[in-house]
């Protein structure tokens, strides 16, 4: 299945049904009076987050969604049938923006969360509604109210606990395939991941977290170089960033790689530069001990953080890195649970 994280669609709720002009006609009843019913309500447009979708590819082929019009009223004071609601199912983490792509209308970040985007039009009044003591035979009925319509942008931000960042060929896809059941493309020649990948890491029966691997960043990504920095949106919700650095580069190149990614994170915004970051020197199986020490020292002086080392291919220190990530994820979940508890009013 092809990954698609943005789509533009058209939605329109149903118009209300029309009211009718009708009079009671029965034998031996000379003045039956007006009995025209009201029109039915038009169908609503609702978005719902579901947990069995992970891409917006369906909206590439179906881009128009229209709800039905409400039924017209009828005689004998019969109200028209209300139209069915159209429920558009989207992946968890989908954000809905107005046509200007800046005004966010909703953020469906929890399974089952719904957003009523377009409300169906009300039905028109039948002539029975306009009966008064001075106007006993009104011949007026209203048309149904029109529904709402608009173009909206859907943007998917993957729900993950850990975000993998780094330059292309830093070993992100290899790490993801080593610690999870995900199978991203891996080869013995330089290339970069083209689409975000998700992998679930299980350390124990009760400990697990989700890792998001995004395409590698290059210098000038925020200006559109390479694949750009749009995919960084998929790690905005992460608790911690895992920054992998290719240890086979020269010492100056290792430091430059760290600075390049940090610069791109700051330019992107979204609070990514302020997220906790674990810096890992990768591919140490190809380095001598003195080379590892030299590169780690240079990185620690440049970043001011303690640097971890690892080799995904040789499975060196991978468990140590995963345990460190789990500690961050567990702490973040506890803080969110406390925040949710504080915001939820007691009943």
Give binding residues as ranges.
Answer: 166-173, 191-195, 213-216, 282-285, 311-313
Report d(CA 7, CA 58) in Å as an integer.
9
Q: Output phi, psi for 345, to 5 deg.
A: -70, 145
Please state the residue numbers annotated as binding site for GTP: 166-173, 191-195, 213-216, 282-285, 311-313
37: closest CA among 82, 81, 75? 75
**Cα–chain center distance at 250:** 39
Q: Angle at the Cα of 210 (from 186 to 57), degrees rounded to 5?
A: 70
DSSP states of 98-121: -TTSSSEEEEE-STT-EEEEEPPP
Report d(CA 263, CA 267) in Å as an integer.
6
**Cα–chain center distance at 161:** 14
Please state the residue numbers annotated as binding site for Mg(2+): 173, 193
Report yes or no: 147 and 52 within 8 Å, Cβ to Cβ. Answer: no
Per the structure block, which two tokens stand in for 17?
Answer: 């049904």
Q: Which residues contact 71 (CB under 8 A, 6 or more apart)?
A: 17, 39, 40, 80, 81, 82, 83
Where would I find the beta strands (DSSP E) of the chain? 6-12, 45-50, 64-66, 86-91, 94-97, 104-108, 114-118, 149-156, 162-165, 197-202, 208-213, 240-246, 277-282, 308-309
Report d(CA 261, CA 302) in Å as an integer.
13
3-state SS of 266-295? HHHCCCHHHCCEEEEEECHHHCCHHHHHHH
* Burial environment of residue 160 by CB neighbours within 10 A (0 to 12, 13 to 18, 19 or more): buried
The count of other CB atoms within 10 Å of the CB of residue 305 is 14
């Amino acid at each position: 299945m092809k990954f698609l994280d943005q789509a533009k669609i058209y939605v329109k709720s149903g118009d209300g049904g029309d009211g009718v002009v009708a009079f009671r006609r029965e034998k031996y009843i000379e003045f039956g009076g007006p009995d025209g019913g009201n029109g039915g309500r038009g169908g609503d447009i609702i978005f719902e987050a579901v947990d069995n979708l992970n891409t917006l590819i369906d909206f590439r082929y179906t881009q128009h969604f229209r709800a039905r019009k409400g039924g017209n009223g009828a005689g004998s004071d019969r109200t028209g049938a209300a139209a069915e609601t159209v429920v558009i199912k989207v992946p968890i983490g989908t954000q809905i923006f107005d046509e200007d792509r800046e005004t966010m209308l909703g953020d469906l970040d929890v399974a089952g969360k719904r957003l009523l985007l377009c409300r169906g039009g009300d039905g028109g009044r039948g002539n029975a509604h306009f009966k008064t003591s001075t106007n006993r035979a009104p011949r007026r009925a209203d048309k149904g109210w029109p529904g709402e319509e608009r173009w909206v942008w859907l943007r998917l931000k993957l729900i993950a606990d850990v975000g993998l960042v780094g330059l292309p060929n830093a070993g992100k896809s290899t790490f993801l395939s080593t610690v999870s059941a995900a199978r991203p493309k891996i080869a013995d020649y330089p290339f970069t991941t083209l689409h975000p990948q998700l992998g679930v890491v299980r350390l124990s029966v009760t400990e697990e977290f989700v890792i998001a691997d995004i395409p590698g960043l290059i210098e000038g990504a925020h200006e559109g170089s390479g694949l750009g920095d749009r995919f960084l949106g998929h790690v905005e919700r992460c608790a911690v960033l895992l920054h992998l650095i290719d240890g086979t580069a020269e010492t100056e190149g290792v430091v430059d790689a760290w600075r390049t990614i940090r610069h791109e994170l700051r330019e992107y915004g979204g609070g990514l530069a302020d997220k906790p970051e674990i810096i890992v020197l990768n591919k140490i199986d190809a380095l001598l001990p003195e080379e590892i020490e030299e590169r780690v020292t240079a990185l620690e002086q440049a970043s001011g953080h303690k640097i971890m080392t690892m080799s995904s291919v040789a499975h060196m220190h991978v468990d140590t890195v995963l345990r460190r990530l789990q500690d961050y994820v567990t702490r973040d979940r506890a803080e969110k649970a406390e925040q949710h508890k504080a915001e939820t009013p007691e009943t």
